[in-house]
Amino acid sequence: MRAVIFHGPRDIRLSEVPRPVPGPGEVLVRRGAALTCGTDFKAYRRGHRVLLGDYPSPFGHELAGTVEEAGPGAERFAPGTRVVVGNSAPCAGCFFCDRGQNFLCERLKLHNGAYADFDLVPANIVRHNLWPIPDSLPFEAAALSEPLACALHGVESARVQPGENAVVVGAGVMARLLVSALRAKGARVIVVGRSRPPLEAALALGAEIAVGASDGDPVKAVKS
């Protein structure tokens, strides 16, 4: 099968590698859509030992696809099941995991391999962060689950209430996901950004006001 392998900063290679066979608890997923986020760009430019471990390493971590084969103990994910693959899983045994704060796990297990024809999903990811998706959800949208989860977590942590004002600083992809999450909560959203096209995109997603950071005093504009 084909797979993109990270060999070091600015050195990624499309290679032919053996198709993996899932072991106990593992699931093999055929790629439907694999996205690229800012962390992938950062890793490509300067490396990322925390995310990628030792090089050479599989690359890419935002993936949705179809189960090709399930190993022993993972039969609940039958071949043909459409899934989104999370890129991390908690250890379920550290101080924070014991208190329900899995996102602060001290021994978080990370997974890469989205940029390949098939991705072998480790057993710990299968247990904690492999999710079936409906036929109506496109793979390209499902693969956004990881950054969308970050936006939803931020909105939930802020305890945003319907009718409240919320200011999003920036108008990039994460900012626009925040706009969508805030609008779903019923908030009135103001976006501050530097470039007009992303601001227009934020307005299309439901932001009520877009403020150009270079068009005067953005703080004054927000308060008005």
Mean pLDDT of the chain: 93
Identify whether residues 174 and 209 lie together within a single domain. yes
- pLDDT, one tens digit per residue, over 162-182 is 999 999 999 999 999 999 999
Identify whether residues 136 and 193 lie together within a single domain. no
In whole angstroms, give the CA distance from residue 136 to residue 199.
29
In whole angstroms, give the CA distance from residue 105 to residue 107.
6
Cβ atoms of residues 195 and 170 within 8 Å: no
Identify whether residues 38 and 57 lie together within a single domain. yes
Identify whether residues 157 and 95 lie together within a single domain. no
Domain total for the chain? 2
Identify whether residues 219 and 118 lie together within a single domain. no
- Looking up residue 108, the CATH number of its domain turns out to be 3.90.180.10
Q: How many CA atoms lie within 13 A of 132 on its CB side?
A: 8
Identify whether residues 102 and 174 lie together within a single domain. no
Mean pLDDT of 177-192: 94
Range of the domain at 84: 2-143
Identify whether residues 171 and 138 lie together within a single domain. no
- pLDDT, one tens digit per residue, over 72-111 is 999 999 999 999 999 999 988 899 999 988 889 988 889 9
Identify whether residues 180 and 72 lie together within a single domain. no
Cα R_g (the chain), whole angstroms: 20
Identify whether residues 132 and 151 lie together within a single domain. no
Identify whether residues 168 and 131 lie together within a single domain. no
Residues 6 or more apart whose CB falls under 8 angstroms from that of 60 comprise 4, 34, 36, 40, 112, 113, 114, 115, 116
Identify whether residues 139 and 151 lie together within a single domain. no
